[in-house]
Structure 1
Amino acid sequence: MLNFELEFPTKLIFGKGSVDKVGKEVAKYGKKVLIHHDGGDYLKELLGKVKGLLEAEGLTVLELGGVVPNPRYSLIQKGVALCRKENVDFVLAIGGGSVMDSSKSIAFFTKNDGELADFAHYKKMSPDCLPLGTIVTMPGTGSEISNNAMVVDDRGDTLIKYPLFQNSFRFKFAVMDPELTFSLPLKQTVSGTFDIISHTMERYFNGENHVNLSNRLCEANMLTIMDEIRKVIKDPRNYEARANLFLAAMLGNSPIIEMGAASDWAVHNIENPVTTSFQKTHGSTLAIITPAWMKYVYKRDLPKYAEFATRVMGVPADFYDLETTALRGIEALEQFIKEIGLPTRLSEIGVTEDSFEMLADHATVDIGVERIGMVSQLTRDEVLEIYQLAK
């Protein structure tokens, strides 16, 4: 088991009517707040309510919309300029993962000079950041609980997605009302659901043999997610199912689930160039890459993949043939992905083989790394093979 330090500074405000508390929470941190969102029509009623709650506390409210999936650094720069000009005290994200990541970046770069690439990965850390909070409208990324953000540098000819890791831009609070998700399109819901599964899997296949608590937490999270999304597909207004997905998203990207264990993130690194280059949905693309990655690496930890098959996917164990058990588990996962309406091949989303060399470059050499995955440790050529398996 690995040594670790656990810091959990975000206040979680969960349940029906929890949005009503946002005004008093923000008022603790200053008098001028920037609301950041994606500008979607679905937000109109919520935005109006939140503005009223903030103004009732005597706060001055500014607003910046326009966030797109895979948030752009150019919009973040506009937000930074606005915060500095107006002396903003607090940033409030209203939306899903991309909005939260964009808000974290605005709050951080308002207080820190330097290039985006200077802070990528863990290159440069800073304790300085505007305080910020979030109202989560779509569970999936778990960004409300994490110390990371994904940002696309869109200033050059090639779009490059960078991961940022800063403890200073953790949210002060996260408001999570499952009723806000009732009107989400089903496609967004199931895509976000697989993102939760992927976050959990990145921690589950951790290369460690003595982290039983972490492993059992991951298995419980994956089983819960699969059960609850089936209920939501049947009844999109099932509050309890939606609530469980919210909690699963939070747990799937929290440090609690990986105590004493490593985490990999190879799948996310392989997925990033696809969504960045072709503007595809994050969760749906993860659903394609995950089984392909599993088929490539499962022999490296055959007992763990057989355990996944039996404990999570319900495959009968063959103790005399772990490889067959593991492969049946991967097959069962693919069947689940199809069941909830997500693709399992890159060709299904219009990504063709002639782009694979470019994607493999973007996943590795273009961001200055020789290998990806804390556990998988995949080279550029191995990433290319995984794209081939996913075609």
Structure 2
Amino acid sequence: MLDFAFSMPTRILFGSGARSLLERELDEQPVAKVLLVYGRESARLNGSYDDTTGLLEARGIAYLEHPGCREDPDDEFVGAGAELALDHGVDFVLAIGGGSVIDAAKAIALLAANQARDIWAYHTARQDFTAPALPLGVVLTTTGTGTEVNGGFVIRRRADNEKIAFSSLSTRPRFAYCNPDYTITLPPQVLADNYTDILSHLLEQYFSMEDSTGIVDAIILEAIHYLLKNTPALQTWKDSYGFRANTMFVSTLSLSYLFSCGKKVPWILHYLTHALAARRPISHGASLRVVMPGWLVWLSGKPAYATRTRQLSDKLALSDASQLGQHFLDHFALMGCDPHPLLSDTEKAQMVARLSTDTDFLARANLDARDLRCILDWTHHAC
């Protein structure tokens, strides 16, 4: 295990009856004017919008709204939000929604604090944000994201669909109100995407670059086993508060930095999915289901990951690690997802070409173009 520092300053206000905790948290935060960031319809359908605005109005806290965040928030949306915050003297950003909304809120809070409106200009110029982000909070309405407790966020450039992951510890939310009942209205496909995303976060951190195992890996293995064992329960999601609560909490923990303690995580799977999303319109969860099985098959043939693939196979009662890819495909079917969509040869070539230019990523993950193509081809035995 490598040396590490760990802290999770975000206060988790968890449960269907945790409204009083949110009330107390709002009273304790130095909030004068809030920018509410949310999506299109879901926040109003699940009741989170009315609950949040009601609490703000009861406390005399002024707010303005920046609605309409779509999946994969883009530079134009966050730029417009930063402009709103700057023009109206906002001192707190509050996200109502899931991963896309929270990522947008983080970018807006960071841009506004640095008197900026164009996040891509910072990326292109390789500039650092000098001022910490405006304080922000989260009212979580989905599972699968994990972004409610970390400083990472992904923003898409609308001009060419390029997606870039940014990171700033100052964007870690002050609090996250996690009410499992807000997830009851999630459509089946969104729920399946969220569930896939949680599995991907756990798997990526489990398959880190170190061969040593310990308590962190033991926790991850139990979490993966729990999710796969309960996959059929997604069909009756709204009827089980306990299942909703456990799924929401493991999602939060999965990207809290806890499962990366003592590890170097290359995030191969997520780099591949970002490259795929630049090629075709596809949800993050769906792109993970395209790439994950081949990645697992590839891992099972790499000596560096032999211990980890064997332990995961044992945990899932599989006789051989080469069965991991098919095992996860079978569980995707239980989620009610479409069958594994095939990548075209053109898409594969474009994805490999794109990722091959990122020499830092290749070095960090100990990959080359041949490895990338093997994952995408799912031709483990030919590699």
User: Structure 1 length as normaliser, TM-score?
Assistant: 0.88
Distance 1:179 1:297, change over 3 A: same
Please name the residue that 1:247 is paired with: 249
Please name the residue that 2:335 is paired with: 340
Matches within 5 A, 1:78-97: 78-97=80-99
For the 8 Å contact 1:93–1:100, the answer to whether it is kept is yes
Which of residues 341, 350, 361 in structure 2 aligns to 1:358? 350
1:330 aligns with 2:319: no
Comparing 229-238 and 165-174, the one that deviates more: 229-238
For the 8 Å contact 1:108–1:128, the answer to whether it is kept is yes
Distance 1:21 1:363 in 2: 44
Distance 1:41 1:9 in 2: 28
Q: Which amino acid aligns with 2:341?
A: L
Please name the residue that 1:259 is paired with: 261
For the 8 Å contact 1:93–1:103, the answer to whether it is kept is yes
Q: Which amino acid aligns with 1:150?
A: V
Comparing 108-117 and 77-86, the one that deviates more: 108-117
By how many angstroms is 1:17 displaced?
3.1
Please name the residue that 1:146 is paired with: 150
Distance 1:340 1:190 in 2: 6
By how many angstroms is 1:21 displaced?
4.2
Comparing 56-65 and 372-381, the one that deviates more: 372-381
Distance 1:216 1:314 in 2: 16
Matches within 5 A, 1:1-391: 1-19=1-19, 21-27=21-27, 28-41=29-42, 43-44=44-45, 45-112=47-114, 113=116, 115-116=119-120, 118-119=122-123, 124=128, 126-154=130-158, 156=159, 158-300=160-302, 301-311=305-315, 313-316=316-319, 325-343=320-338, 345-347=340-342, 352-365=344-357, 369-370=358-359, 372=361, 376-389=365-378
For the 8 Å contact 1:160–1:276, the answer to whether it is kept is yes
By how many angstroms is 1:146 displaced?
1.5
By how many angstroms is 1:100 displaced?
0.5
Distance 1:332 1:115 in 2: 40
For the 8 Å contact 2:11–2:174, the answer to whether it is kept is yes
By how many angstroms is 1:127 displaced?
5.0
SS in 2 for 1:85: helix
Q: Which amino acid aligns with 1:389?
A: W
SS in 2 for 1:236: helix
SS in 1 for 2:208: coil
User: Structure 2 length as normaliser, TM-score?
Assistant: 0.90
- Across the aligned residues of Structure 1 and Structure 2, the Cα RMSD in angstroms comes to 2.2
Distance 1:299 1:125, change over 3 A: farther
Q: Deviations over 1:256-311 (max 9, x none)?
A: 12221221200000001222442211112112211111222322222321211111
SS in 1 for 2:9: coil
Q: Which amino acid aligns with 1:359?
A: M
SS in 1 for 2:239: coil
Distance 1:363 1:71, change over 3 A: farther
Distance 2:142 2:360 in 1: 32
Comparing 168-177 and 245-254, the one that deviates more: 245-254
> 5+ unaligned residues in a row in structure 2: which ranges?
none
For the 8 Å contact 1:35–1:93, the answer to whether it is kept is yes
SS in 2 for 1:330: helix
By how many angstroms is 1:355 displaced?
2.5
Distance 1:364 1:76 in 2: 29
Structure 1: which 4+ aligned runs deviate by more than 6 Å? Answer: none
Distance 1:132 1:260, change over 3 A: same
Distance 1:41 1:260, change over 3 A: closer
Q: Aligned pairs, how many?
A: 372
SS in 2 for 1:129: coil
By how many angstroms is 1:108 displaced?
0.6
Quote the sequence identity (%).
23
SS in 1 for 2:238: coil
SS in 1 for 2:71: coil
Distance 1:270 1:193 in 2: 18
> 5+ unaligned residues in a row in structure 1: which ranges?
317-324
For the 8 Å contact 2:297–2:324, the answer to whether it is kept is no
Distance 1:333 1:123 in 2: 40
For the 8 Å contact 2:48–2:141, the answer to whether it is kept is no
